[in-house]
Structure 1
Amino acid sequence: MILEQLRDAFPHPVGPLRILVVDDQPVNIRVLHQLFKDEFDVLMATDGEQAITLCKEQQPDIVLLDVVMPGISGHDVCRRLKADPDTRDIPVIFVTSQNQDGDEALGFDIGAVDFITKPINPVIVSARVRTHLVLKLQSDLLRSIAMMDGLTRIANRRKFDEELTISWRACLREGRPLSLVLLDLDCFKQFNDRYGHQQGDACLTAVAEALNRSVRRPLDLVARYGGEEFVCILPGTDSQGGLKCAEVMRAAVKALKIEHQDSAAGPFVSISLGVATQIPHADASPEALLAAADEQLYQAKRAGRDRVSAITLA
């Protein structure tokens, strides 16, 4: 019941909770799968490398990890998960036949949240897993709120900064392009002067919703950058795709038909957008890519507003 209430509290839908069971003995995996399969998505791995890959790709909500396995030990798996920003927040529970005080202390020292000895007691295992899932969801919820803009209910600047770093590293590793779209509302000061700040806030919220609807892929992110500025991260998107997405955003805002009698760009609220695209490399930086998008935004404004200006960096 508590788990359902926490999942419902998230600002965006939360899918089924995932448990990853890691053990080189199929009989142990079957026992834990049988215990949790009716309520959770249960992923299974029989060695450490497979477990690490699943954690990076599937992002389970908790890992039940054996210690003694061929190849990479459970301890080393835990160390590697905790050293990786993409997986360090996944709770790890060691499930092992090792039951000395020193074994348990080592498990906690390298980042595990709990330690369960074999043979397992299903009631105890279920209770402990549920407790740590509740704690994980509570932590995720607080983090989600901290990363959300209070007015528009989309990602805030802090979330953008974090995701830009993650997306840059992923595209650098995979040799894929990364596009950034930086935009702001045309003549927004004049809008606030004529219609008042309350209507200005309503306008920003409506624009944020329109921008958010314009992106489709899970890895794309729209965030409020500050004031009337917004930004969009498009991992794996080339210059043509970035320009197309920017035009979709521009059209989505114009389609709102929010009256703006004092705009120099037309009778309705509009946006100007700057797009910068680059395949990340060692001599480049996400900050330089953002600066290039900012320069393109001002090029769009100097050219008359309500338009897109784009550049591709080497």
Structure 2
Amino acid sequence: MQRWQAATRQKPKILLVDDQRVNILVLHELFRDECEIFMATDGEQALQSCRTILPDLVLLDVHMEGLNGHDVCRHLKEAPETRDIPIIFVTAQGAEQDEVRGFELGAVDFIVKPINPVIVKARVNTHLTLKLQSDILRSFALLDGLTGVANRRKFDEALELNWRRSLREKTALSVIMIDVDHFKRFNDCYGHQRGDSCLQAVAVALNGVIKRPYDLLARYGGEEFACVLPNTGLSEAVQLAERMQTAVRALKLEHMDAEVEHVVTVSLGVATIVPTAGTTSETVVGEADRQLYLAKQAGRARVSSCALTDQQ
């Protein structure tokens, strides 16, 4: 757990699930100093907590009233946003069939009550370390090699994750598509090495505008970037897009072959939607792309935006 905090600068999040509060209190006492602890006393509450907080590890009781631990595990492993969360079953019954069933469902370990604090801490630490290593490797695979921001694959994953969450919670989701104006001319004028440096500087400027940890900027391809903003209405997204435009212009990167100004600028298209069963994530991306086209057609170095409704 010390390794986790050193690598992430925050405590690992553990969700304790048990319908007997005394059992939760025992585990809470064991991990409260080193971990951020969340608690659930039934299966439905556990599922909701996992979707909301995305814990780094779940300690899950098998035998609970209503939705039991096996059912909870199955639901978590079926959902893309929660399937990678490691689950350790904790139960008073050490029957072999329970262990077999747990591992078949995707659990990483099995602990029998009454718990031994030394054993529990050792196993939790092992699986948190494995989770951290997996997260680090996965994060490298989801970064754009040139700019250091997220890549297209990460954007697609984040968009789908937040789309499902917005659909479930009936909240607004916004997407910004961003294009560096006349970038081909920039490369032709200054060379590809300067072009790469330009993209790196633009990425830093754009990413510097984003403040919330759950917002995401990604390199979408070539000189195009994209931003997904969960729980964000149109006016907030447009304000963010305008700050991005200002941040890039403030770099004062010379671009003598640009039509608008003799510095590097960006055009931005913004689209906002409250997802419904009749829409898909492609709907909002397609509209943001259309708004980007309109911004470029209107003269570039500007923001164009639209709020989608069911009728559109």
TM-score for both structures, normalised by structure 2 = 0.92
Give per-residue Cα distances to partners, 1:291-311, cap 9 Å, x unaligned.
Answer: 222222122112211111222
* CA apart distance, 1:14: 4.7
What is the root-mean-square deviation in Å for CA atoms of aligned residues? 1.8
Verify: 1:56 aligned to 2:51, yes or no: yes
Give per-residue Cα distances to partners, 1:140-161, cap 9 Å, x unaligned.
Answer: 1111111111111111100111
The within-5 A match list for 1:4-153 is 4-5=2-3, 8-9=6-7, 13-153=8-148
* CA apart distance, 1:68: 1.6
* CA apart distance, 1:250: 0.6
What is residue 215 of structure 2 aligned with on the other side?
220
What SS is found at the alignment partner of 1:86? Answer: coil
* CA apart distance, 1:8: 4.6
For residues 119 and 294 of structure 2, the distance between their equivalents in structure 1, rounded to whole angstroms, comes to 63
* CA apart distance, 1:25: 2.7
Q: Do the aligned residues in 1 keep the contact of 2:73 with 2:87 (CA within 8 Å)?
A: yes
Verify: 1:233 aligned to 2:228, yes or no: yes
What SS is found at the alignment partner of 1:224? Answer: strand
What is residue 155 of structure 1 aligned with on the other side?
150
Verify: 1:280 aligned to 2:272, yes or no: no
Stretches of structure 1 lacking an aligned partner (at least 5 in a row): none
Q: Do the aligned residues in 2 keep the contact of 1:154 with 1:224 (CA within 8 Å)?
A: yes
For structure 1, which segment, 163-172 or 93-102, has the greater mean C-alpha deviation from structure 2 after superposition? 163-172
Give per-residue Cα distances to partners, 1:219-245, cap 9 Å, x unaligned.
Answer: 321111001000111223222222222
Verify: 1:178 aligned to 2:149, yes or no: no
Give per-residue Cα distances to partners, 1:167-224, cap 9 Å, x unaligned.
Answer: 2222222333322211111111121222222221111111111111212223321111
What SS is found at the alignment partner of 2:98? Answer: helix
For residues 253 and 272 of structure 2, the distance between their equivalents in structure 1, rounded to whole angstroms, comes to 30
Count of paired positions: 309
Verify: 1:196 aligned to 2:191, yes or no: yes
Q: Do the aligned residues in 2 keep the contact of 1:6 with 1:138 (CA within 8 Å)?
A: no
Amino acid at match of 1:187: H
Amino acid at match of 1:84: A
TM-score for both structures, normalised by structure 1 = 0.92
What is residue 285 of structure 2 aligned with on the other side?
290
For residues 284 and 20 of structure 1, the distance between their equivalents in structure 2, rounded to whole angstroms, comes to 33
Cα 1:249–1:55, aligned 2, differ >3 Å: closer, same or farther? same
Cα 1:90–1:293, aligned 2, differ >3 Å: closer, same or farther? same
For residues 276 and 118 of structure 1, the distance between their equivalents in structure 2, rounded to whole angstroms, comes to 52
For structure 1, which segment, 143-152 or 191-200, has the greater mean C-alpha deviation from structure 2 after superposition? 191-200
Percent of residue pairs identical:
58
Stretches of structure 2 lacking an aligned partner (at least 5 in a row): none
For residues 200 and 298 of structure 2, the distance between their equivalents in structure 1, rounded to whole angstroms, comes to 26
For residues 61 and 195 of structure 1, the distance between their equivalents in structure 2, rounded to whole angstroms, comes to 46
What is residue 298 of structure 2 aligned with on the other side?
303
Tell me which stretches of 4 or more aligned residues in structure 1 moved more than 3 Å: 3-9
Q: Do the aligned residues in 1 keep the contact of 2:5 with 2:11 (CA within 8 Å)?
A: no
